[in-house]
Structure 1
Amino acid sequence: MGFRRRLADLWQPWHSGQALLAIPLGLIAAITVVDVLAPGDIHLGPLLIVAPAITPWFAGPWLTGLVGVLAVAAQAIIAVLRDQDELFSTNHQVQIAALTVLSLVIVVFSRQRERRNRQLDRVRSVSEATQRVVIPPLPHRMGPLRIASAYRAADDEAMIGGDLYAAARTGNGARLLIGDVRGKGMTAISDASVIMGSFREAAHRSDTLAELVVTLEESIRRHLTEHAPHSEADALYEQFVTALVLDIHDEDPVAQMINCGHPPPLLLHKHRVTGLHPRQAEPPLGMYDLPRTGLALDPFPFGDDDTLLLYTDGIIEARSPDGAFYPLAERVAQWTDSGPEALLHHIRADLIAHVGGQLNDDAAAVAIQRSPKLAPGHQLKKMAHVGSSDHADRAAAER
Structure 2
Amino acid sequence: MVTAVTTSLVALLVFLGDAGMSWLPLLAVGPALAAATCRPWGVLRIGFLATALGAVLGARSGEPVRQQAVTLAALVAVTLASALASLLRRRRERVLAAVRSVAETAQNALLKPVPATVGPFQVAVRYSAAAAEARIGGDLYALVPTPYGVRLIVGDVRGKGLPAVGTTALVLGVFREAAYDEPDLLDVVERIERSLARNLGPDDFVTAVVAGYPQPGRMEVVNCGHAPPLLVSRAGVTAVEPTQPAPPLGLRSLVDRRPGLQTLSFSDGDQLLLYTDGVTEARDGGRAFYPLAERVARHACDEPSRTLAALHDDLLAHVGGRLHDDAALLLLRKPAVVNPVAVDPVAAPPVAADPGPGP
Q: TM-score, normalised by structure 2?
A: 0.89
1:261-316, CA deviations, whole angstroms, 9 ceiling, x for partnerless residues? 11001112238211111111111111044444444321122222222111001111
1:335-373, CA deviations, whole angstroms, 9 ceiling, x for partnerless residues? 112521112211222222222222221111111111135
Check the 8 A contact 2:123/2:330 in 1, yes or no. yes
One-letter code of the match for 2:211? L
| 2:244 is equivalent to residue 265 of structure 1 | no
1:102-130, CA deviations, whole angstroms, 9 ceiling, x for partnerless residues? 12111111111111111011001001101
Q: Name the CA distance, whole Å, in 1 between partners of 2:235 and 2:53.
A: 69
Q: Name the CA distance, whole Å, in 2 between partners of 1:190 and 1:33.
A: 60
State the match for 1:190 in structure 2. 166
Q: Name the CA distance, whole Å, in 1 between partners of 2:35 and 2:302.
A: 44
State the match for 2:87 in structure 1. 111
Ranges in structure 2 where 5+ consecutive residues have no aligned partner: 340-359
**How far apart are residue 42 of structure 1 and its match?**
6.8
1:150-189, CA deviations, whole angstroms, 9 ceiling, x for partnerless residues? 2111111111111111111113620011111112344421
Q: Name the CA distance, whole Å, in 2 between partners of 1:312 and 1:326.
A: 12
| 2:279 is equivalent to residue 315 of structure 1 | yes
Check the 8 A contact 1:144/1:372 in 2, yes or no. no
Q: What percentage of aligned pairs have identical amino acids?
A: 39
- Counterpart among 191, 206, 212 of residue 247 in structure 1: 212
State the match for 1:94 in structure 2. 70
How many residues end up aligned between the 2 structures?
A: 339
Q: Name the CA distance, whole Å, in 2 between partners of 1:51 and 1:35.
A: 15
Q: Name the CA distance, whole Å, in 1 between partners of 2:83 and 2:235.
A: 59
**How far apart are residue 34 of structure 1 and its match?**
2.6
Check the 8 A contact 2:134/2:162 in 1, yes or no. no
Closer, same or farther in 2 for the Cα pair 1:206/1:172, shift >3 Å? Answer: closer
State the match for 1:63 in structure 2. 42
- Counterpart among 111, 136, 140 of residue 112 in structure 2: 136
State the match for 2:350 in structure 1. none
SS at match of 2:35: helix
Closer, same or farther in 2 for the Cα pair 1:130/1:374, shift >3 Å? Answer: farther
State the match for 1:35 in structure 2. 14
Q: Name the CA distance, whole Å, in 2 between partners of 1:201 and 1:40.
A: 79
State the match for 1:367 in structure 2. 331
Q: Name the CA distance, whole Å, in 2 between partners of 1:314 and 1:209.
A: 26
State the match for 1:78 in structure 2. 57
Check the 8 A contact 1:162/1:188 in 2, yes or no. yes
State the match for 1:3 in structure 2. none
- Counterpart among 305, 313, 322 of residue 358 in structure 1: 322
Check the 8 A contact 1:145/1:374 in 2, yes or no. no
SS at match of 2:18: coil
One-letter code of the match for 2:297? A
1:161-240 mapped onto 2 (5 Å cutoff): 161-171=137-147, 173-224=149-200, 228=201, 236=202, 238-240=203-205
State the match for 2:295 in structure 1. 331
One-letter code of the match for 2:285? P
1:289-300 mapped onto 2 (5 Å cutoff): 289-300=253-264
One-letter code of the match for 1:241? V
Q: Name the CA distance, whole Å, in 1 between partners of 2:43 and 2:317.
A: 37
**RMSD between aligned alpha carbons?**
2.0
Closer, same or farther in 2 for the Cα pair 1:209/1:285, shift >3 Å? Answer: same
Q: Name the CA distance, whole Å, in 1 between partners of 2:44 and 2:235.
A: 62
1:373-392 mapped onto 2 (5 Å cutoff): 373=337
State the match for 2:353 in structure 1. none
Q: Name the CA distance, whole Å, in 1 between partners of 2:117 and 2:228.
A: 23
One-letter code of the match for 2:179? A
Check the 8 A contact 1:56/1:110 in 2, yes or no. yes
Q: Name the CA distance, whole Å, in 2 between partners of 1:354 and 1:31.
A: 46
Check the 8 A contact 2:247/2:257 in 1, yes or no. no
Check the 8 A contact 1:141/1:147 in 2, yes or no. yes
Q: Name the CA distance, whole Å, in 1 between partners of 2:55 and 2:129.
A: 52
Check the 8 A contact 2:224/2:259 in 1, yes or no. no
Ranges in structure 1 where 5+ consecutive residues have no aligned partner: 1-20, 229-235, 376-399
Q: Name the CA distance, whole Å, in 1 between partners of 2:219 and 2:16.
A: 83
Check the 8 A contact 2:130/2:161 in 1, yes or no. no
One-letter code of the match for 1:310? L
SS at match of 1:43: helix
SS at match of 1:57: coil
SS at match of 1:178: strand
Q: Name the CA distance, whole Å, in 1 between partners of 2:146 and 2:338.
A: 17
Q: Name the CA distance, whole Å, in 1 between partners of 2:147 and 2:253.
A: 36
One-letter code of the match for 2:151? R
Check the 8 A contact 1:144/1:374 in 2, yes or no. no
| 2:304 is equivalent to residue 340 of structure 1 | yes
As a proportion of its length, which structure holds more helix?
1
Q: TM-score, normalised by structure 1?
A: 0.80
